[in-house]
């Protein structure tokens, strides 16, 4: 009996061949042909990896393109390019001397400085003209002024260094309040604290939209010899303005009168021991006695009758039907989401348009100035209508008497153009507190 020995290398090679012959799809494989007897063994152990790979590639082409490449024509697969690609020139690297090999070799220099034959003096820092003048003033050295003249050191400000402007004055205007500052880093380096970035507010000023001339053209009826119609029109405007002023003053007087009457009524109706403005109801003695003697009786709830129970049952049924109808309406409104969304979009567009209309109206109103509008504590005054009646009109310029005040007109114009804030004249007031006189102790003892 003979025995055959199989080396370890032959076993490893056969095992590797068997592993490499396994299907890539993960199906069980039996390609190791232990015997070739019979057709069944040949069919069972046949290698079809190549066929499977080919079929899988065809399936991939069909999934990506829609058809296999074999079923497509040449026109679908190939294109004759007669124009060329315009992006090729942009993709190509541009010519640069820094990319040349010779330039790279020459640019390689040692970081060690070269050895010099003799020592050189370090460059002296340059002194500005202002610093030089300051040093000369401190040293009381003669300085040259205009036309090469020697300036007098005893002159005010010429021989003293303390009179010079400070560093804060020199650096004024260089600090930006809204600029972003540098990061503040803690010494240990574990945390980084960064100040918040404050955004500069972009608020428009009303004077940017006001289009009012500094000196307005007076009305034609204000001339010394005006036309009749223009003079009558200006008289009517002055009458309406005066009538409106009288109505406002009458309303204010009536309001003040009501306040005074209320104060007088409150002062007369004051009882002892009761703060002012408080009203105490009077208590009747009989009602007080009855309230004291009355005893509160606790009554037990009576048993409901059949009719009351039926009524309550009917109310519960009606509430249930109402809830069911409300739920049905809610469910039916789900199908109307698109229409509701379109209505909401239309309403938003309408609100935006209304806001734009209001902004446009405000801009148009501001173009005419701030006359008559309240700005801050006070109201911007309007222009006074300066007109003369027919009896005061002069026939020539020599006898013409000017109306108004140029300073007041200029001040009102500055307020209407939002150049200064509206103000009212502050009249001097008398001293309310009385002066107290004290006699010093030294003046009490006199001989």
* Residue 350, pLDDT score: 95
Q: Which H/E stretch holds residue 260?
A: helix 228-268
* Residue 143, pLDDT score: 73
As given in the structure block, the two tokens for residue 59 are 């399936």
* Residue 159, pLDDT score: 44
* Residue 156, pLDDT score: 45
CA dist 367 and 157 (Å) reads 52
* Reported pTM: 0.40
* Residue 17, pLDDT score: 45
* Residue 13, pLDDT score: 46
* Residue 64, pLDDT score: 83
CA dist 384 and 99 (Å) reads 80
* Residue 18, pLDDT score: 47
Which of 400, 388, 393 shows the shortest CA–CA distance to 235?
388
* Residue 68, pLDDT score: 87
* Residue 22, pLDDT score: 52
As given in the structure block, the two tokens for residue 246 are 């009288």
Consecutive sets of 10 residues in the chain, 447 residues long: mean pLDDT of each? 42 46 54 64 70 91 84 87 79 75 76 67 76 80 72 53 62 70 50 68 81 86 86 92 93 94 78 67 64 63 88 94 91 82 92 93 87 88 86 80 85 90 84 80 66
List, in sequence order, every residue forming a beta bridge with 375; answer none if it has no partner.
Answer: 378
Q: Are 158 and 134 in contact (CB under 8 A)?
A: no
Helix%, strand%, coil% for the chain, nearest 5 = 45, 0, 50
């Amino acid at each position: 009996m003979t025995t055959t020995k199989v080396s370890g290398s032959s076993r490893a090679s056969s095992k590797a061949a068997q592993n490499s012959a396994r299907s890539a799809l993960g199906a069980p494989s039996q390609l190791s042909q232990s015997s070739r007897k019979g057709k069944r063994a040949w069919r069972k152990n046949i290698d079809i990896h190549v066929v499977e790979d080919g079929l899988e590639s065809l399936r991939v082409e069909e999934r990506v393109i829609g058809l296999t490449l074999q079923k497509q024509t040449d026109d679908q697969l190939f294109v004759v390019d007669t124009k060329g690609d315009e992006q090729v020139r942009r993709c190509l690297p541009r010519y640069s001397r820094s990319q040349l090999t010779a330039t790279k070799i020459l640019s390689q220099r040692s970081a060690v400085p070269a050895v010099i034959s003799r020592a050189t003096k370090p460059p002296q820092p340059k002194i500005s003209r202002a610093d030089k003048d300051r040093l000369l003033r401190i040293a009381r050295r003669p300085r040259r002024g205009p036309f090469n003249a020697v300036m007098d050191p005893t002159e005010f400000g010429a021989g003293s260094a303390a009179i010079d402007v400070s560093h804060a004055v020199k650096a004024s205007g260089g600090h930006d309040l809204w600029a972003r500052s540098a990061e503040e880093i803690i010494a240990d380096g574990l945390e980084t604290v960064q100040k918040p970035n404050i955004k500069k507010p972009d608020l428009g000023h009303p004077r940017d939209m006001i289009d009012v001339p500094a000196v307005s053209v007076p009305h034609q009826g204000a001339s010394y010899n005006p036309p009749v119609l223009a003079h009558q029109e200006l008289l009517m405007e002055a009458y309406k303005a005066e009538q409106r002023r009288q109505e406002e003053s009458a309303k204010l007087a009536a309001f003040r009168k009501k306040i005074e009457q209320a104060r007088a009524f409150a002062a007369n109706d004051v009882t002892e021991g009761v703060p002012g403005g408080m009203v105490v109801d009077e208590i009747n003695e009989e009602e007080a006695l009855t309230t004291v003697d009355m005893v509160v009786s606790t009554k037990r709830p009576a048993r409901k009758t059949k009719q009351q129970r039926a009524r309550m049952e009917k109310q519960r049924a009606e509430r249930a039907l109402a809830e069911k109808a409300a739920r049905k309406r809610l469910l039916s409104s789900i199908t109307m989401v698109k229409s509701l969304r379109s209505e909401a979009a239309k309403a938003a567009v309408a609100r935006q348009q209304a806001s734009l209309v209001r902004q446009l109206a405000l801009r148009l109103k501001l173009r005419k100035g701030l006359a008559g509008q309240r700005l801050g504590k006070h109201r911007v005054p309007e222009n006074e209508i300066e007109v003369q009646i027919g009896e005061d009109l002069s026939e020539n310029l020599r006898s013409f008497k000017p109306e108004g005040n140029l300073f007041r007109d200029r001040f009102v114009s500055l307020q209407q153009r939002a150049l200064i804030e509206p103000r009212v004249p502050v009249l001097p007031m008398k001293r309310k507190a009385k002066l107290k006189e004290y006699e010093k102790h030294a003046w009490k003892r006199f001989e």
